[in-house]
């Protein structure tokens, strides 16, 4: 059974690395099935186990930590986000249990060590090819970066896996009971692995690798002392050299990364990465909303919007949905209680590992110390990098987290008899294992089916790009495992199909389906501004004004300060502008004034966040509002509106509208027997009508020429009558 469990665990890691190294939970399906089978086959081993159990306090702490995260994820405001975090938690717990179950079986452990080594070899080969051919990707049709990333989509995550695998294999090189040829091969792999971290140019990865190597060296020296190794004395003398080498490796790696990515040879300039500090500051603000319990799974992804300041943080197009720091992410989502439990558990396992390593029998010929040292060093390296990325929200890394903890907490003695505490422990572990098996198996099947359904249109080397194929794939995925993203993407395709139709698109079946999909997506994820905004835009196009306006207001509330990304105020202003123009052209200027006044407020709110962006719409709104007010004979207000429009970039066309209005005001003054005022207004009308060459929409050069001719004749007539214009105020 140990061998079978080990095979399934290695298979789970291979599938996670090659197919599921991303945050989309459904892509983890094949790996979840393999991990669930590894968990199932470990159950008999749990009851057959004779090894010393973990300390009762450590077990209680682990149960409390996992329980807190599980409960908070289960009641997350967005269920699909909670599901994803629960599956990540289940994968870490399951891999920990499997490692504990196969512990001590020589064949199973050799399979495990060779599994890590060969997967590391494959990653090194792929990264090497990508170094010379950046476009290369072994599984998917493309990747989003040019730097080497192995099987992963991003170099940070790729480097993180290589750090983990390299340090696990390094433990086997130093203290594993392997043949000389095997150790030489493993050693070369370790060197190649750290070279890959360097060429990935991941600054966090280089730091993590340096910390992991330093930890490995220190622990190795401690073990050498325990085992009275001949090289212990030389190692003690070499400690300063080792420290200097680690620091040199770090600075050289940073300098190379900075030079390659930013053209700077200052290794410390990476500390000036303002955006990471801004993201951290936003995360701290989110934590302040619910410091103890957190906001629920992935809550940062929507709560961050309310604290966004585009003047400080930029427009936000590259804003990640996850904090680039796992501790801050955990605190945001699960509160200070959650991160406190997690840190306490991590420290407890580290201490347990060190104590058991130091207390190990020097004559022990097993691989215990190799696994403990490798697991501990790998955890420290990966954890270090997790402070610069969100690696533990990717499935292979959570499997590795469970592996690290399982290896680091490896037992150190045999028990000759069963006892009551062991029985209680086994019952508890069995219950947890069954839950993990059920969750991973159930969602693993769903995820595998969804992956197969979407592979041809999302990942295949020969993508099917037709709308029909994409809609069919999404429809099948929705039937299997509904996700808000699936509904939103299908709604977009339905909308495009409706607008491409030869008939009135607003009356097609496709547009009805699109509206229904957006509504369903919003129910599944009520905190995503993009879903609500897209729904509002579609409803606006259908002239379902009341529904559209409700959705626009909701999207603006959700987007917070992120007008620069979602442009909720801008799109709402455009909707109100179109509605106001329909009312104006329909002969109801009084009603259009109200609507265009609302559009004016919205476009000014957008302009405050995005100065000089959307200026044409801003000009059109103010000009149209002026025209509507002009229809009601409120000339002073209309003129003020035109004058404001002139101050906007591209708004000089409003000069002509102001000139035309001043001509009307002049005629009114003449009819009221105020000839001096009339002449002054006619003169000002001519000045404004000729102030700029561009004309408003709907006005031709011929019309302007005719109007200017009229003004010239009128002014000449009044001046010929010896009328003196009223002096300007």
Q: Three-state SS across 592-629?
A: HHHHHHHHHHHHHHHHHHCCCCCHHHHHHHHHHHHHHH
User: Taking phi first (over 0 means left), then psi (-120 to 50 degrees means alpha), and beta for anything else, what does residue 698 get?
Assistant: left
Which helix (H) or strand (E) segment is 710 a member of?
helix 701-720
* Residues 552 and 537 sit within 8 Å (Cβ to Cβ): no
Identify which of 606, 605, 607, 564 has the alpha carbon closest to the alpha carbon of residue 312.
Answer: 564
Task: Encode pLDDT of 275-298 as tens digits.
Answer: 777 888 899 999 999 999 999 999
In this prediction, residue 243 carries a pLDDT of: 65
What phi, psi does 643 have (nearest 5°)?
-65, -35
Identify which of 127, 221, 224 has the alpha carbon closest to the alpha carbon of residue 166.
Answer: 127
Count of alpha carbons within 13 Å of 492, Cβ hemisphere only? 12
What domains lie within the chain, and their CATH numbers?
Answer: 2-450 (no CATH), 567-605+618-649 (1.25.40.10)
**pLDDT exceeds 90 at position 22:** yes
CA distances from 547 to 131, 532, 533, 542 (A): 52, 11, 12, 10
Task: Encode pLDDT of 389-443 as tens digits.
Answer: 999 999 999 999 999 999 988 876 544 445 555 677 778 888 999 999 999 999 9
In this prediction, residue 598 carries a pLDDT of: 97
- SS3 label, residue 38: helix
The average confidence (pLDDT) of the chain is 89
Task: Encode pLDDT of 583-596 as tens digits.
Answer: 999 988 899 999 99
In this prediction, residue 49 carries a pLDDT of: 67
Task: Encode pLDDT of 359-394 as tens digits.
Answer: 776 666 567 888 999 999 999 999 999 998 999 999
Cα–Cα dist 386/69, whole Å: 18
Task: Encode pLDDT of 445-456 as tens digits.
Answer: 999 999 999 999
265, with CB counted inside 10 A (0-12, 13-18, 19+), is exposed
> Which residues, 6 or more positions from 698, have their beta carbon under 8 angstroms from its beta carbon?
none
What phi, psi does 414 have (nearest 5°)?
-105, 150
> How many DSSP H helices and E strands does the chain contain?
29, 0
Cα–chain center distance at 453: 24
In this structure, the chain runs to a length of 729
* Residues 168 and 378 sit within 8 Å (Cβ to Cβ): yes
* Residues 110 and 367 sit within 8 Å (Cβ to Cβ): no
Identify which of 308, 241, 321 has the alpha carbon closest to the alpha carbon of residue 278.
Answer: 308
* Residues 163 and 209 sit within 8 Å (Cβ to Cβ): yes
In this prediction, residue 423 carries a pLDDT of: 72
Cα–Cα dist 636/557, whole Å: 35
- SS3 label, residue 414: strand
């Amino acid at each position: 059974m140990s061998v079978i469990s080990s095979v399934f665990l290695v298979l789970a890691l291979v599938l996670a690395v090659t197919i599921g190294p991303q945050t989309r939970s459904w892509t983890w399906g094949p790996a979840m099935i393999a991990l669930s089978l590894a968990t199932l086959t470990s159950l008999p081993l749990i009851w057959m186990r004779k090894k010393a159990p973990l300390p009762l306090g450590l077990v209680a702490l682990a149960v409390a930590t996992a329980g807190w995260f599980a409960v908070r994820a289960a009641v997350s405001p967005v269920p699909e986000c909670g599901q994803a975090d629960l599956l990540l938690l289940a994968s870490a717990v399951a891999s920990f249990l499997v490692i504990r179950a196969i512990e001590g079986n020589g064949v199973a452990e050799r399979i495990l060590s060779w599994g890590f080594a060969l997967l590391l070899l494959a990653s090194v080969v792929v990264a090497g090819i990508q170094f010379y051919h950046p476009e290369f990707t072994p599984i998917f049709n493309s990747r989003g970066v040019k730097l080497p990333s192995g099987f992963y989509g991003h170099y940070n995550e790729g480097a993180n896996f290589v750090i983990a695998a390299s340090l696990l294999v390094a433990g086997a090189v130093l203290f594993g009971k392997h043949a000389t040829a095997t150790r030489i091969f493993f050693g070369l792999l370790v060197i190649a692995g750290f070279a890959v971290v360097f060429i990935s140019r991941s600054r966090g990865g280089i730091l993590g690798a340096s910390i992991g190597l330093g930890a490995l060296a220190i622990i190795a020296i401690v073990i050498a002392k325990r085992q009275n190794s001949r090289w212990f004395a030389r190692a003690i003398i070499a400690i300063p050299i080792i420290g200097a080498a680690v620091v040199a490796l770090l600075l050289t790696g940073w300098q190379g990364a900075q030079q390659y990515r930013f053209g700077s040879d200052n290794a410390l300039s990476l500390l000036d990465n303002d955006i990471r500090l801004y993201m951290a500051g936003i995360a701290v603000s989110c934590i302040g909303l619910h410091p103890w319990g957190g906001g629920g799974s992935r809550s940062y992804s929507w709560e961050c919007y309310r604290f966004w300041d585009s003047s400080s943080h930029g427009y936000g197009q590259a804003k990640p949905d996850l904090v680039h720091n796992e501790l801050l992410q955990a605190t945001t989502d699960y509160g200070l209680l959650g991160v406190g439990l997690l840190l306490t558990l991590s420290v407890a396992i580290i201490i347990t590992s060190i104590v058991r390593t130091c207390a190990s029998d020097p004559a022990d010929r097993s691989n215990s110390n190799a696994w403990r040292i490798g697991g501990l060093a790998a955890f420290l390296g990966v954890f270090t990098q997790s402070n610069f990325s969100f690696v533990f929200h990717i499935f292979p890394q959570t499997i590795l987290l469970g592996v690290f903890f399982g290896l680091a907490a490896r037992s150190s003695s045999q028990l000759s008899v069963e006892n009551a505490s062991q029985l209680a422990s086994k019952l508890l572990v069995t219950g947890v294992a069954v839950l993990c098996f059920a969750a991973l198996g159930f969602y693993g099947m769903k995820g595998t089916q969804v992956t197969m359904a979407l592979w041809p249109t999302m990942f295949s080397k020969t993508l099917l790009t037709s709308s029909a194929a994409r809609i069919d794939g999404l429809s099948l995925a929705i039937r299997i495992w509904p996700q808000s993203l699936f509904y939103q993407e299908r709604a977009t395709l339905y909308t495009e199909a409706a607008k491409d139709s030869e008939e009135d698109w607003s009356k097609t079946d496709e547009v009805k389906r699109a509206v229904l999909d957006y509504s369903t997506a919003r129910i599944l994820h009520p905190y995503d501004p993009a879903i609500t905004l897209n729904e509002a835009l579609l409803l606006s196009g259908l002239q379902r004004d009341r529904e559209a306006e409700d959705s626009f207001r909701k999207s603006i509330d959700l987007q917070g300060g992120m007008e620069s990304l979602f442009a909720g105020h801008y799109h709402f202003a455009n909707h109100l502008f179109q509605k106001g123009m329909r009312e104006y052209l329909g002969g109801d200027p009084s009603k259009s004034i109200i609507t265009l006044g609302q559009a004016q407020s919205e476009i000014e709110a957008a302009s405050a966040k995005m100065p000089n962006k959307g200026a044409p719409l801003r000009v059109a709104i103010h000009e149209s509002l002026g025209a509507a007010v002009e229809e009601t004979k409120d000339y002073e207000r209309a003129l003020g509106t035109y004058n404001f429009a002139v101050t906007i970039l591209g708004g000089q066309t409003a000069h002509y509208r102001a000139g035309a209005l001043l001509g009307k005001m002049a005629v009114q003054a003449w009819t009221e027997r105020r000839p001096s005022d009339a002449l002054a207004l006619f003169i000002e009308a001519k000045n404004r009508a000729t102030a700029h060459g561009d004309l408003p929409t709907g006005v031709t050069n011929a019309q302007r020429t005719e109007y200017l001719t009229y003004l010239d004749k009128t002014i000449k007539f009044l001046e010929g009558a010896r009328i003196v214009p009223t002096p300007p105020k």
